[in-house]
Amino acid sequence: MASILGQRIVIENVAAAAGVPGTKQGIAADPDGYSVVMGVASTIAINPIINKAANYNALEDLKAVAILGYTPYVMVVANNLNIKTFPELLKHAQANPGKVTYASWTSVGDFARKGLELRAGLKMTPVPYKGGPDAINDIIAGRVSATILDIGTAMPFIKAGSVTPIAMTGPDKSPALPDVQSITEAGVKNYFIDSWTALFVPKDTPKAIIETLNYKTRQALNTKNVKDRYAELAIQQLDYDATETQSFMERQVKGWKTLIEDTESLK
């Protein structure tokens, strides 16, 4: 993207506090197109609802520019369950109350579990982990029943046959796993868990600048190097203009807000 823009791009990592300080720094930047915020679902859609330190409204304080990548999430189960589909897991959980366990180590994963309990009636006992590697190892070993995680993290284990994918948790199937049904196809309505990375700018940035950044970003995404790398990581490209990107973000924020509020009473 730097060569396409003819500008040097400096990455400033603002770590800690679930991305709140970095997002706020971007919100407060000059709206001249030279300060761009990289946002994800947690910083844009989730933090403003669950994190008191995030006293911002992302879609009022920022304007969406372009989607860098869309990453579906997939539900995987331990092979020793001998379960191949989501309806089979639901039936198994109903027949064995309290015995289906769920590995969780992020807020997204926890909301994913609660959402399935609310929308599908699937009750799973949460098992907290400090990080993904230990959780996945326990699923491979059959000590935990299931989890939901991004497809890029899951794919090596799926390809190795170490875990079984049973549903994509977004509305659509994934080209990387064409034989795995979507959660909608499995009969679960009004539910999605997915991930994306996108660029944003301060709210007062002129429209012409936003459209230029959108165009240049999409040019970079359509280069062979990026396409090849995204294919390796099972990241999908959403070739949206700035208006389509903003609409996508509005749907995402609304969907996450509904899910979080509806599952507030669940443990």
What's the pLDDT at 179?
95
In terms of Cα–Cα distance, which of 63, 80, 78, 162 is closest to 127? 78
Looking at every residue in the chain, the average pLDDT score rounds to: 94
Q: Are residues 146 and 119 in the same domain?
A: yes
* Rounded Cα distance, 64 and 58, in Å: 9
The answer to whether the CB of 114 falls within 8 A of the CB of 88 is no
Check whether 36 has a pLDDT greater than 90.
Answer: yes
Q: How many domains does the chain have?
A: 2
Compute the average pLDDT of residues 41-54: 92
CATH of the domain at 157: 3.40.190.10
What's the pLDDT at 171?
83
Q: Are residues 94 and 138 in the same domain?
A: yes
What's the pLDDT at 66?
98
Angle ∠(116,120,122) on CA atoms, nearest 5: 65
The answer to whether the CB of 233 falls within 8 A of the CB of 61 is no
Q: Are residues 108 and 152 in the same domain?
A: yes
What's the pLDDT at 5?
92
* Residue 19 structure tokens: 């991305």
CATH of the domain at 39: 3.40.190.150
Compute the average pLDDT of residues 169-189: 92
Q: Are residues 43 and 87 in the same domain?
A: no
* Rounded Cα distance, 86 and 90, in Å: 6
Strand 194-202, strand 163-168: pairing:
unpaired
Q: Are residues 162 and 224 in the same domain?
A: no
At residue 156 the predicted structure's pLDDT band, cuts being 50, 70 and 90, is very high
Q: Which residues pair with 168 in a beta bridge?
A: 74, 182
What's the pLDDT at 107?
83
At residue 264 the predicted structure's pLDDT band, cuts being 50, 70 and 90, is confident
What's the pLDDT at 254?
93
Residue positions counted in the chain: 267
Q: Are residues 91 and 40 in the same domain?
A: no
What's the pLDDT at 267?
77
Q: Give pLDDT tens digits for 192-223.
A: 899 899 999 999 999 999 999 999 999 999 99
Range of the domain at 8: 2-70+194-262
Q: Are residues 38 and 79 in the same domain?
A: no
Check whether 44 has a pLDDT greater than 90.
Answer: yes
How many Cβ atoms are within 10 Å of 88's Cβ, its own excluded?
15
Q: Give pLDDT tens digits for 70-128.
A: 999 999 999 999 999 999 999 999 999 999 999 999 888 999 999 999 999 999 999 99
What's the pLDDT at 18?
86
Within-domain flag for 40: yes
Distance of CA 40 to the CA centre of its chain: 7
* pTM confidence score: 0.88
Q: Are residues 64 and 85 in the same domain?
A: no
Residues 195, 197, 202, 206: is their CA dihedral positive or negative?
negative
SS3 category, 183: coil
* Residue 88 structure tokens: 């089979």
Q: Are residues 66 and 82 in the same domain?
A: no
Within-domain flag for 122: yes
The answer to whether the CB of 108 falls within 8 A of the CB of 260 is no
Residue 6: what residue type?
G
Within-domain flag for 179: no
* Rounded Cα distance, 198 and 249, in Å: 9
* Rounded Cα distance, 76 and 89, in Å: 10
Compute the average pLDDT of residues 143-148: 97
Q: Which long-range contacts (CB under 8 A, 24 or more apart) does 152-155 make?
A: 152/71, 152/233, 152/234, 152/235, 154/74, 154/76, 155/234
Within-domain flag for 173: no
How many Cβ atoms are within 10 Å of 90's Cβ, its own excluded?
21
